[in-house]
Each structure stands twice: as C-alpha cells, then as structure tokens.
Amino acid sequence: MDLSGVYPALTTPFAADGSVSLSDLKYNIERYNSTGLAGYVVLGSTGESVLLSRTEMDGILAAVKEAAGQGKRLIAGTGAESTAETIERTKRAAEFGYHLALVKTPHYYKPAYKPDVLIAHYRRVADASPIPVLLYSVPIFTGVTLEAPEVAVLSEHPNIVGIKESSGHVMRVAEMVAAAPADFQVLTGSAPTLLAGMMVGAKGAILALASALPEKCVELFELVHAGQIEKARELQNVLLRVSKVVASEHAIAGVKFTMDQRGYRGGIPRLPLVPLSEAYKQRIVESLAGLQPLVARA
Amino acid sequence: MDLSGVYPALTTPFAADGSVSLSDLKYNIERYNSTGLAGYVVLGSTGESVLLSRTEMDGILAAVKEAAGQGKRLIAGTGAESTAETIERTKRAAEFGYHLALVKTPHYYKPAYKPDVLIAHYRRVADASPIPVLLYSVPIFTGVTLEAPEVAVLSEHPNIVGIKESSGHVMRVAEMVAAAPADFQVLTGSAPTLLAGMMVGAKGAILALASALPEKCVELFELVHAGQIEKARELQNVLLRVSKVVASEHAIAGVKFTMDQRGYRGGIPRLPLVPLSEAYKQRIVESLAGLQPLVARA
Amino acid sequence: MDLSGVYPALTTPFAADGSVSLSDLKYNIERYNSTGLAGYVVLGSTGESVLLSRTEMDGILAAVKEAAGQGKRLIAGTGAESTAETIERTKRAAEFGYHLALVKTPHYYKPAYKPDVLIAHYRRVADASPIPVLLYSVPIFTGVTLEAPEVAVLSEHPNIVGIKESSGHVMRVAEMVAAAPADFQVLTGSAPTLLAGMMVGAKGAILALASALPEKCVELFELVHAGQIEKARELQNVLLRVSKVVASEHAIAGVKFTMDQRGYRGGIPRLPLVPLSEAYKQRIVESLAGLQPLVARA
Amino acid sequence: MDLSGVYPALTTPFAADGSVSLSDLKYNIERYNSTGLAGYVVLGSTGESVLLSRTEMDGILAAVKEAAGQGKRLIAGTGAESTAETIERTKRAAEFGYHLALVKTPHYYKPAYKPDVLIAHYRRVADASPIPVLLYSVPIFTGVTLEAPEVAVLSEHPNIVGIKESSGHVMRVAEMVAAAPADFQVLTGSAPTLLAGMMVGAKGAILALASALPEKCVELFELVHAGQIEKARELQNVLLRVSKVVASEHAIAGVKFTMDQRGYRGGIPRLPLVPLSEAYKQRIVESLAGLQPLVARA
C-alpha cells in the first residue's frame, strides 16, 4: 500500500445548533474529490475528535465513506487514551470500510508513557486491528513524542505501516526514515516542512492546511516529487507564511475560517475552542491575498 | 462550605477480568471511613477516569456515594475536553448526590487554551452546575497551568469555591491565596508540599498518597493545623521520601501497589498503564519500611 | 558558621560614563549597615558579574570589604565557566577577606553537565578553596539545576557548607534539607518563597529584593523565625506582589529602579541589559505604594 | 561575499599540562587545508571559548590565521555576555585579519533578552564592527533562540550578512530564508540537517563534525549542491547516525575523540568538561566503522 501524496486532516463542520453537520462535511468532500488529494483523514486532531461523542464519530465515519470519490484512501483517527477503547474504535473504523487507522499516542499519564509502554500499547492495537495501523506523534497537543528508536522497533510489526510525524522537526523524519525498513512510510503532519520532509524521505503529508488549500498542498507535493526544487521552494515559502498565520495557536478555528474564505464549509469550532477575533480573521485574509481562489464560492 | 482537611484521590480497582471492581472500591471506602479523611474524590487523575467508560463512571459515583461514611464530603471529577460534556458530567455527579465538582482544565488543544479561553470555559461550567465547582490544575498530566491571575478572576464567580492546585509549586499556592478573596479555598494536590502549602494558606489537600497512607496524611495535616511545625516537618520529610518513590512516573501503579502493602485493595492499573516491575515494587517496600502498618491486612 | 539571616544580592552601580561606581556601592553599603542584614553578597547574578571585567571585580571586592559594618558576613560570587577560573576567583575572594564563596553551576555546555560532572567540578573547587563554599543553583539564568541527590553527595565535603537554592521551588528546598546532614545550610534565593522555604528548613535567604527592601525582607525573616506565622504570611503576600513586579523578566533593572525609589543608588544596568520603560517604572512605583519609606532620600 | 560551503567549528587542542597547544591546532589546520573546507571558525562553542582566557584567545586567532591556506575564509567567534566586550573582541578579530565575526546571543539574563533587546545589542555590535557580522543562535547551549522576525529586522543592517542557525530545526532555516533579503546568508550549525537545510535555502554549514570528518561533510555539501539528492540522502543518513553518537551530550569530548580516530589532534576537553568513558569511546568507534579513513594517522 503506497501512501504517497497529500491527505487533508478533515475538519468537522458544526450546524448552527452545535450538532455535527454531515451535509456540510459531504459538501466539502465532494469538492475535494476533484482535487489531487490522495485520500481523507477523519477524526484526527483537526477534526476535533476529542470533542465528539461516539455517535457523532460514527456519523462522520459513514458520511465521509459515502461521499469519498473512487480511489481516495480513507484513514480514520482511532487513538483513545485506553488501549481497549483504541482497539474498539479501530475495529469500528474497519467495519465502516476505512483502509487505515491513525493511532495517536496515549498522553494523559505522560510521565508513565515511556517508550516501552508505548511500544506495548501499539503492539496490542496492531495485533487486534483488522486494518493497517499508522502511528501518530503530535507532541504539540499530547506532550508525548515518538522518537526514531521506538518507531524503528514498531516498524517491524507487520500491521504497522507508517507514521504521521507532526512534531515539525525534519530531523525526526530523517531519523525515522533512516532507522526503519524501506517499506515503512513516514508522512509529515507539518505543512511548513513538506518540502524538507520529502527531501529526507517522507512519502507525503497529512495536513490541516490541505482542508483549506488542497490544490496548493498537492501542487507543492507534485513539484517536489518531480524534482522541481526551485519552484517548490517558492511555493513552500508561500505556504510557510500562510501556515504560520492559519495554523497558529488558533489552529482549528484558523483552518475553518480559511476554508470559509476558499469556498468550503468551515464554520466555527466547538467549545471550549472559540471563534477567531475579527482582527485575527483580517490577518488570515491578508495572508491569503496572493493566492488564486481555486474553488468558486457556493 | 469549609473544605479543610485531607481527601484521598481515590484509585479505581479493577477485577481480574479488567472490569471495575466496585466491591473492592467499597472495601477501601469502608476502611477509610474510620480515618480522619474529610471526604472522597472520585474520577480524578488517580482514578484513571480518562480510561473509563461513562457506564463505569456511573457505577463508581453510585458505589462511593453508598459506601461513604456520614459527614464525608463527596467530590467528583467531571472535567472532560468539551465544555458540553463537562457540564453533562457535572450534572450527573450532582444527581448522584456529590457535593462538589472537580473540573480539570481542558488540555488537548494546549496552544489555544489561553487564560481567557479557560475563563470562559469555567464560567460556562459553573453557570450550569447545580453544585459548587473546584478548579483543577494538573500540568504534569495536562500541560496546561492555571495561574493566579485567571484563578483570581474565576474566584469571583459565586459557584466557584476553590481550586485543587497540583503543580507542586508552593509559590503558585501562595499567589492564589493572595490574589483571591478570603473565602476562596486552595487545596494542594502535592503531598510533598502539604506543610509548605498550608503555611502559605492552603486549606488542605487532595492527595493520591492519601489513598495508600490516609492516616499519615491526616496526621501531617493536623500537626500543621495545630502549629506543631517541628513535628510536622519530621513527618513531612518521611512523606516526601515515600512520595518520591510511590508517586513518581509510575504514579497510579505505585499508589495502587502501596495500597496493597497497607491493607487496601489497589491492584493493577488499566492498559496502556502497566504494573510495576518487581525491582520497583522492592523500592517501594523499602521506602515504606519505617511506617507502622495502620490497617490490618484483609 | 551559622548563616541564618537575610543577605542582599548586591547590585553593581554604574557611573554616567558606564564604569563601575564604587562610591555609589559604598553609599549603599553604609546604609545597609544599619539594617538587620546578616551580610553581603557581591558578584552574584544581581551584581551583573557576567558583564564585569576582572579588574572591576577586584574593585568591588575591595570596596564592599572596606565599607561593610562589623559582623557582617561577606560572600563573593566566584563561579566561572571553567573549573580553573572558578578556583582562581575563589582564591582571590579569600585574599580580599571574604568569608564564603558562592559558586554557581557552570552552564554553557548544559547537555554535558550531568550530576557526576557537576559533583566533580564542585569537589575540585572545594578542595582548592581556602574558604567555605556555598553551592549556587539558579536555573532561570543557567538552565542547569542542582537536585537534592547531588547536593546530598556534595554536602559531605567538609568545605561545602550550604547552597543558595534559587529555583523558587520550595519542594527542592525541602528535599535538600531532608537529604543533607543537619549542619548543611540551605538559603533560598527566592523572595516570594521565603516564608515557605523557612518552614521546610531553609536557614535564610540571599535576595535581590533585599538590595531594595532590606528592612522588609529582614522583618519577614524575623517574623518567621519568631513563629509569628499569621503576621509573616501578611508580609510575605506584600513581598510576593512587589517581587512579581520588581524581579520579573526585567530583574536587574527593576531592582535597581526600586533602589532609586527607596533612597539607595540603583541606576541603570549595563548593556545588553536595558533600562526600564516609563510604563514599567510606573508599575513598580504603584506596587511599592503601600510600603513605608524606611530610608531618607540622599 | 559568498559564504557557500562547509566550515569546521574548530576545536581547541590542549597540551598535557592543560595549556592550549597551538602546535596541535596548526597541525590540524595544515591537514584541513587540503580539503574542500571553505574556511575556518575559531573560538566558537566547539572551540571551548567560554573556557579560555583572553590571552589564549589571542594565541588561537594568530595561529589559525597563520596556518590557514590561501583562500580559506576566516571566521572568529566574538560573542561575549556584555555588548562592550563583544565589540572589543570583534575589533580584536578584525585586527588579526579575520573576515567575519560570529556573534552568539548573550544569554545569562535569558528572561530579559527579548527580541528588541537582542536587536539593539546586535545593532550596536554591527555598527562598531570593522568586519561583517554573522548572527549566531545556539539554543542548546544558550537557552536563547533567534527567530525569523528578529533575524529579518537585523538582516537589514548593512554589516550583518548572515546567521549560523544551530537549533537544528529546519523550519527555522526556511523561515529565515523566506523572511530575509536574498543576499542574507543562512548557514546551518546542524550536521544532521545539512541536506534538508540546504533544500530550503541554507548556503552551507558551520559544523563541529567537520572538524573530525571534513571530507564527508564537504562531500555531502557538494552532492546537494549538484542536485544529486539520492546520493546525498544516503550520505546524510550516515552522518546522521555518526552525529547522533559523536555530537551528543558529550559534544566536545566526542568530536575531539573522533578527531583522534581520524588522524587529527583532538585530545581531551578542559574541565569541567570531562573525557569520554571507555564505553562511550567504543560506541563512537563502532559508529565510524563504515567510514574510510581519509587522513593518514600522524
């Protein structure tokens, strides 16, 4: 299974009454279907999965499966704090027809989650999972980091096929690529380091920014893939600047607002996350000024 | 409502099949009832609440309510990541007859949880809660810290009566005591700083260690309360040493094993948390060597 | 040698041309002589020692020695990055008649300064020093922290008599007191935790704030010493609030400006440190509003 | 002035009596002269400059100037804690004929060194310097980080021509390249990210590792420069692995020992830095196993 390409970390749209809007979600997917995105990632950090109920998760799994275009790879975030619930969610995603499970590190009991504890956790999940597993390290949210040595150990498990590495440190990507077998696939979760990450061996990316600017992220991937480094660097610099504003400390709200600006249905996040201030919206609008609108407003 | 005193952060015992053992939980409570503990805290960090299902939580709320001796104050951990679920859990705890809700900070989207976002979250919860609210800051697990300025703002809410401050920094306790009105009550969550914390104004403590060594923690509280500082310092030093071993990076497993040593029903934690190594158990046994067993083994 | 009491971490006054003003320094000392300060600490972090030449250091050593009142204990900061230079500076301080050397941790090669490297360094310095040595841990500036286990090891050296613990974590003070022999003396370097630190066994304090508010710091020490905890807590709260403003990220400039406000000669720091903004000066003036001026302006 | 290329951060060899061995230093330079190194950097972090006296620094400046082959660019580390001493050292380096001054951030008073304070410091130094200035950000040692916004501001100064960026975060390199004018030159200080750093616009590198493995570092630079990315990635992976062992927490001692293994004169570091354990030496020897010896042992 070749995971090359760009995947958006999908946002979860909410209706005016605060409930999940599956129709807005499908609306977005239908538009994404015509881009070069390699597939979709639901129920990740960008999807506000930690703010959703199990019922809402099921609705999202079903809606994206239904709306996704042919050939799009489907990845479901299934990491929970307990090993048992992670396995349960993973099986559920498999039942819904998802191709891979993206399993973030457990993180609440940080001091206890030493490499050997994490290795044991992931092995149990991978043993029990009907579908291949992607590790997921996102220290900015979890405070827990997977490093190359434990990733190398886990890469030997036949049902663990890769990792989403979202620390933003290109050196970690390089270390993982160097330490794991050639068929272990590293995807970066950091738009500002897509070029650099691919140069050291990342196969692609899972990006929040690709929910708002899918065609730009795909274009960057393809430029790098084609070895057009000069052009890639120019576009990377544009996305670096945009990403700094959009995916800052206001990450979810920023990406959703940017989606609104680009013809998708973003909306506002769920509490305790709050909408952007008007001043911050203005900063985003300005950062987007140079980009061609690629999707007609609906 | 005077919260003075020592409260154990209760552990959640598991049966051999991995399910919650409410009978072991009641067994412990019945023994605690005869100590000087001021009440009980369920579903906190020590209670592995992030590893429990909603049904299991209900069972625990009911069991402790039922087993608790007269006059014991009942506090339920109700903090979830979303504001809505936090409110729901808080109402549930009130329905079960709990006197206070202990609401930990949301924490997954750390970079977004600025003081004003946290203030808005807590106000919504306190507005909706049928019972008084205790703030709960536990940065070692959450990576989010409540500081004195935001605590002072929140202390003005009529339904927010205090905080469990678990950073272990006595200066924060002092700052909160100094910044909030006199009737706002600070409880420390750190056994090694109980003496120092009370000297700067803490009213008491909610301690994992008090699940294993309730009588020692109560004794320390009472010595400080009575102004017997020399004796208090001696006992504090003992608990400092024990706590360093018991409530280390192996926090939950360590406390549970220590409970086993002291005649309570501790058992092992739920995965991904793992039991202690034999070597580590030995360290704990040695650290406890000087303490009189106060509870007969059952 | 009983180190009980409060010592000011002396500032270094500069003349209009940027040179060290020994006359202003003596002016301050003469005023301090009539307070209850137990002695003086020169060439510490507050003294901008890292910004001074060797010649300037000699001038300061001589001036304070000359101006100090009878019975005042004299402590010189002598920690340099290299072991050899630290020893050289320590011997120099002894020649000038200083009673103790305050030796901060080396810190540039942080990742290399593991406990055993620091222990070896301090042993070499203490072996070579003609005067007793005080360890000095000030992580906010150095990024290196001495913890209780290594302090306990070093406390066995006959020429190491104590530590200035400036992390501000009362638990560390408690741990050091518990781990070291009874005659090893812990002084806190944190004004906001003087009360709490003494309650867990600190013998006194070396404080930047005592350069600006010596009588208030001494009063707090004496209240705690006399067991008048209620009164002590009130005064501690005042100093907590003042210290938060004065000894913030603008530490040196803030203390110097506060000295100016209180009748001492503070002045401005040396570049790259910059003077306070007018707005910040105003914040300090306001924070001092409730304090009686104890020294007539000169 | 085009700074493209690889520069070794030179080590400072010590004789058996602990004094600086200028003859060993020249010995190394003479061997380096026949490699493709673009020049030499003296008195940097790797050069143990914080452990040297002014007299020793002068000796080193003279020796390297004398021994350096024609066309080798000469860079001197001149950053001290005070602005005045930094300027003095910078002028001294110019007098000795050095082409550039490498000025690390001041760092002791970390909380005070906000971007505007650092900008003012660097402007003063650059105004006074007879030679062009390279900024130097090395947070692992200083705890202070230069970020792209302040670097962009400083890049406008006519006498500031570039930066040595040693955080190891490729994203920072990318951000600086994107934010500064095209003629501002970013050199990475991180061997494990040379490939990735160059792909996002770094012009070259100043590397401790290049003191031990100059030809390998130069080869990697040239492969990237020539667009041979596949081969570059292979070599980068080798250097990644070696660097992890050699330039770990034992950085200086590790580089020096590796020099000994490769036919240069490394020796041991100055106290408080300690030599490597035998076990660690063995790890380095093993990590070097696959590399061809390129310099005959002397």
Question: C270 — contact with chain D (CB < 8 Å)?
Answer: yes
Residue A196 and residue D229: Cβ atoms within 8 Å? Answer: no
> Do B257 and B209 contact (CB within 8 A), yes or no?
no
Q: What is the pLDDT of residue D250?
A: 79
Q: How does pLDDT run across D223-264, given as a tens digit for each residue?
A: 999 999 999 999 999 999 999 999 877 789 999 999 999 999
Q: What DSSP character marks residue B185? A: E
Residue C171 and residue B229: Cβ atoms within 8 Å? Answer: no
B293 band by pLDDT with thresholds 50, 70 and 90:
low
B-C CB pairs within 8 A amount to 78
Q: How does pLDDT run across A113-125, given as a tens digit for each residue?
A: 999 999 999 999 9
Q: How does pLDDT run across C46-70, given as a tens digit for each residue?
A: 999 999 999 999 999 999 999 999 9
Smallest CA-to-CA distance from D150 within D118, D189, D187, D186 is with: D118
Q: Chain A: nearest CA to D136, how far in angstroms?
A: 20
Strand C100-104 versus strand C73-77 pairing type: parallel
Residue A200 and residue D201: Cβ atoms within 8 Å? Answer: no
Q: How does pLDDT run across C149-174, given as a tens digit for each residue?
A: 999 999 999 999 999 999 999 999 99
Q: How does pLDDT run across D175-206, given as a tens digit for each residue?
A: 999 999 999 999 999 999 999 999 999 999 99
Of A117, A141, A271, which is closest to B84 when you measure between CB atoms?
A271
The predicted model gives A49-71 an average pLDDT of 98
Q: Which residues contact C43 (CB under 8 A, 6 or more apart)?
A: C49, C52, C57, C60, C61, C76, C77, C78
Residue A233 and residue D201: Cβ atoms within 8 Å? Answer: yes
Question: C282 — contact with chain D (CB < 8 Å)?
Answer: no
Residue B111 and residue A270: Cβ atoms within 8 Å? Answer: no
Residue D250 and residue C112: Cβ atoms within 8 Å? Answer: yes
Look at residue A294 and tell me whether its pLDDT is greater than 50. no
- B65 assigned to active site: no
| Bridge partners (DSSP) listed for residue B41 | B9, B75
Question: D81 — contact with chain C (CB < 8 Å)?
Answer: yes
CA R_g for chain C = 18
Q: How does pLDDT run across D87-100, given as a tens digit for each residue?
A: 999 999 999 999 99
Compute CA distances D247 → C158, D10, D47, D96, D217, whole Å: 36, 14, 14, 30, 14
D178 interaction partners in chain A (CB closer than 8 Å): 237, 240-241
D292 band by pLDDT with thresholds 50, 70 and 90:
low
B174 interaction partners in chain C (CB closer than 8 Å): 192-193, 195-196, 236-237, 240
Vertex A199 angle, CA A194 and A204, to 5°:
45
Vertex A66 angle, CA A60 and A70, to 5°:
130
Higher pLDDT, residue A1 or A224 = A224
d(CA C31, CA C212): 11
User: Out of D65, D72, D104, D164, which one is annotated catalytic?
Assistant: D164
B105 interaction partners in chain A (CB closer than 8 Å): none
The predicted model gives A128-151 an average pLDDT of 98
Cis-peptide, bond into residue C130, ω within 30° of zero: no
Q: Do chains B and D touch (3 or more CB pairs under 8 A)?
A: no
A196 interaction partners in chain D (CB closer than 8 Å): 170-171, 174, 196-197, 199-200
| Chain B interface, best mutation among C147, C165, C167, C170, by max B CB count within 10 A | C170
Compute CA distances A171 → A144, A200, D262, whole Å: 17, 8, 26
Q: Chain B: nearest CA to A193, how far in angstroms?
A: 20
Question: B167 — contact with chain C (CB < 8 Å)?
Answer: no
Question: B144 — contact with chain A (CB < 8 Å)?
Answer: no
Residue with tokens 């808080």, as numbered in its chain: B90
A58 band by pLDDT with thresholds 50, 70 and 90:
very high
Q: What is the pLDDT of residue C292?
A: 66
Question: D111 — contact with chain C (CB < 8 Å)?
Answer: yes
Question: A191 — contact with chain D (CB < 8 Å)?
Answer: no
d(CA C270, CA C14): 8
Residue A145: CB atoms within 10 Å: 18
Q: State the helix-helix crossing angle for C22-32 and C54-67, rounded to 10 degrees.
A: 30
B52 band by pLDDT with thresholds 50, 70 and 90:
very high
| Residue D137, helix vs strand vs coil | strand
d(CA B62, CA B69): 14
Q: Chain B: nearest CA to A114, how far in angstroms?
A: 9
B143 interaction partners in chain A (CB closer than 8 Å): 110, 143
C298 band by pLDDT with thresholds 50, 70 and 90:
very low
Look at residue A248 and tell me whether its pLDDT is greater than 90. no
Residue D196 and residue A200: Cβ atoms within 8 Å? Answer: yes
Lateral strand order in the sheet of D185-188: D5-8, D204-207, D185-188, D160-165, D133-137, D100-104, D73-77, D39-42
Q: What is the pLDDT of residue A293?
A: 55
Q: How does pLDDT run across B1-10, given as a tens digit for each residue?
A: 899 999 999 9
Look at residue A160 and tell me whether its pLDDT is greater than 70. yes
3-state secondary structure chain A: CCCCEEEEECCCCECCCCCECHHHHHHHHHHHCCCCCCEEEECCCCCCHHHCCHHHHHHHHHHHHHHCCCCCEEEEECCCCCHHHHHHHHHHHHHCCCCEEEEECCCCCHHHCCHHHHHHHHHHHHHHCCCCEEEEECHHHHCCCCCHHHHHHHCCCCCEEEEEECCCCHHHHHHHHHHCCCCCEEEECCHHHHHHHHHCCCCEEEECHHHHCHHHHHHHHHHHHCCCHHHHHHHHHHHHHHHHHHCCCCHHHHHHHHHHHCCCCCCCCCCCCCCCCHHHHHHHHHHCCCCCCCCCCC
The predicted model gives A179-208 an average pLDDT of 97
| Chain C interface, best mutation among D50, D88, D109, by max C CB count within 10 A | D109
Look at residue A185 and tell me whether its pLDDT is greater than 70. yes
Q: Which residue of C has its CA nearest to D47?
A: C109
Q: Sign (positive/negative) of CA torsion A195, A196, A197, A203?
A: positive
User: Out of B104, B164, B203, B216, which one is annotated catalytic?
Assistant: B164
Comparing A101-110, A122-131, A246-255, D120-129, the range with the smallest average pLDDT is A246-255
The predicted model gives A128-134 an average pLDDT of 98
Q: How does pLDDT run across B230-281, given as a tens digit for each residue?
A: 999 999 999 999 999 998 777 899 999 999 999 999 999 999 999 999 999 9
Q: What is the pLDDT of residue B294?
A: 46
Q: Which residue of C has its CA nearest to D109?
A: C141
The predicted model gives C17-24 an average pLDDT of 97
Q: What is the pLDDT of residue C249?
A: 74
Question: A62 — contact with chain B (CB < 8 Å)?
Answer: no
Q: Chain C: nearest CA to B165, how far in angstroms?
A: 14
| Chain B interface, best mutation among C165, C166, C171, by max B CB count within 10 A | C171
Q: What is the pLDDT of residue A212?
A: 97
> Do C94 and C129 contact (CB within 8 A), yes or no?
yes
Of B45, B112, B120, which is closest to A251 when you measure between CB atoms?
B112
A2 band by pLDDT with thresholds 50, 70 and 90:
very high
Smallest CA-to-CA distance from C214 within C258, C268, C184 is with: C258
Look at residue D213 and tell me whether its pLDDT is greater than 50. yes
d(CA A21, CA A279): 27
Compute CA distances B113 → A128, B49, D35, whole Å: 35, 21, 53
Helix (H) or strand (E) holding C187: strand C185-188
Query: How high does pLDDT run on average in chain D?
Result: 96
Residue with tokens 């593991």, as numbered in its chain: C114
D290 band by pLDDT with thresholds 50, 70 and 90:
confident
Q: What is the pLDDT of residue C47?
A: 98
Q: Which residues contact C7 (CB under 8 A, 6 or more apart)?
A: C37, C38, C39, C40, C41, C73, C75, C187, C204, C205, C206, C207, C210
Q: How does pLDDT run across C214-242, given as a tens digit for each residue?
A: 999 999 999 999 999 999 999 999 999 99
Look at residue D287 and tell me whether its pLDDT is greater than 80. yes
User: Out of A65, A72, A104, A164, which one is annotated catalytic?
Assistant: A164
